[in-house]
Amino acid sequence: MSLETLQARIDYRFKDVARLRQALTHRSFGQPNNERLEFLGDSVVNHVVALALFSRFPELREGDLSRLRAQLVCQDALHGLAVELQLGAVLRLGEGELKSRGAERPSILSDALEAVFAAVYLDGGFDAAKAVIDRLFADHLTHLDPKSSLKDPKTRLQEWLQARRRQLPKYRLVETRGEAHAQEFEVECTIDGGMQTRGTGSSRRAAEQQAASAAMEKLEQHAG
C-alpha cells in the first residue's frame, strides 16, 4: 500500500507528506521517528473523542464519560482501527522488528495511528485532525450503548453466560512476547461448547479483556 492510498483512506491529503512519513517511522528504523508525534496524537484523539461523547451523551456523568473514552481510545481499539486502515503495510521498521512481525504488533500499530493523528493536526490544524478522527470513530460511536459499554468485556461475558446457566469462561496465557519494558501478552478464552477466542494486550488483563470481547461478539452473532 502507498502513502497515497493511506491518505485516501483517512480522507486527508497532506501538504507536507514528510509529516506522514515520520508518523509511520518506528524508532527501530531510525530518526526522525514517531515517538514525539505519538505523545501529541494521544492528547489530540482523547480531546476529539471527549468532545464527541460530551455532545452525544448529555445525561452521562463525568466518570461514565471518562470510562467510555478510555474504552474508545485504548490500545485494543486503536489497534483495530489501524488494522482496518492496513497501517502495517506502510510502517517503516528496523530489520529486527520486521523479522519479529512488528507490523502486526498492537502496541506499534496503535502508537503509529496516534502519530498519524498528530501529523494531521500539525499539517492541517485541529479541525482537520478532528474531521479525520470523527470519521474513523463514527461507527464505534453510532453503536455505542453506555448501558453495556460501561461494563468491561469480562463482566459482560460472565453475566451473559450466568444468565443462561452456562459455565464461566476460562482464560489461559498462551504467550508473552517482547522485552520487559514493552511486553505483549496473548491470552486464550475458552467457553463450554468448544468456542475459543484470543486477545493480545500490553498486560495480561488487557489481553483477557480483548479475548472476552471477541467471545462476546461471537456469542451475540450466533444468538442473533
Per-residue pLDDT band for 187 (boundaries 50, 70, 90) equals very high
Residues 33, 91 contacting (CB under 8 angstroms): no
What was the pLDDT predicted at 145? 79
Could you tell me if 138 and 177 lie in one domain?
A: no
Same domain, 184 and 122: no
- Specify whether 126 is located in the same domain as 157: no
Q: What is the dihedral of CA 18, 47, 55, 9, to 10 degrees?
A: 20
133-155 residue pLDDT tens: 999 999 989 888 787 666 788 88
Catalytic machinery residues: 42, 114
Weakest mean pLDDT among 15-24, 28-37, 43-52, 96-105: 96-105
Query: Is 8 found in the same domain as 113?
Result: yes
Among the three residues 145, 162, 182, which one is the final residue of a domain in this structure? 145
35: containing domain: 3-145
Domain limit, last residue, from 121, 145, 169: 145
The answer to whether the annotation marks 192 as part of a ligand binding site is no
- Same-domain status, 164 and 186: yes
Residues 129 and 24 in one domain: yes
Instruction: Find the CATH number of the domain harbouring 160.
Output: 3.30.160.20
The answer on 215 and 119 residing in a single domain is no
Residues 45 and 134 in one domain: yes
With beta carbons less than 8 A apart as the criterion, state whether 174 and 44 touch.
no
> What's the mean pLDDT when you consider all of the chain?
91
* Tens digit of each residue's pLDDT (9 = 90 or more) over 147-183: 766 678 888 889 889 888 899 999 999 999 887 777 8
Number of domains in the chain: 2
Q: Give dist(CA 43, CA 84) in Å, integer.
A: 22
Cβ partners under 8 Å of residue 203, min gap 6: 185
11 is annotated as contributing to ligand binding: no
Cell of 122: 500539525
Q: Region 67-85: what's the mean pLDDT?
A: 89
| 132 and 189, same domain (yes or no) | no
pTM: 0.72
Q: Which of 113, 145, 177 is the last residue of a domain?
A: 145
Write the CATH number for 56.
1.10.1520.10
- CA–CA distance from 65 to each of 6, 144, 146, 154, 174 (Å)? 31, 12, 9, 20, 33
Residues 139 and 165 in one domain: no
Q: Is 114 annotated as a binding residue?
A: yes
Residue 112 neighbours by CB under 8 Å, 6+ apart: 23, 24, 26, 34, 38, 82, 87, 91
Q: Which of 143, 150, 164 is nearest to 191 (CA)?
A: 164
Do 84 and 164 lie in one domain? The reply is no
Identity (one letter) of the amino acid at 79? Answer: H
Domain identity same for 135 and 168 = no
For position 101, what pLDDT does the model report? 87
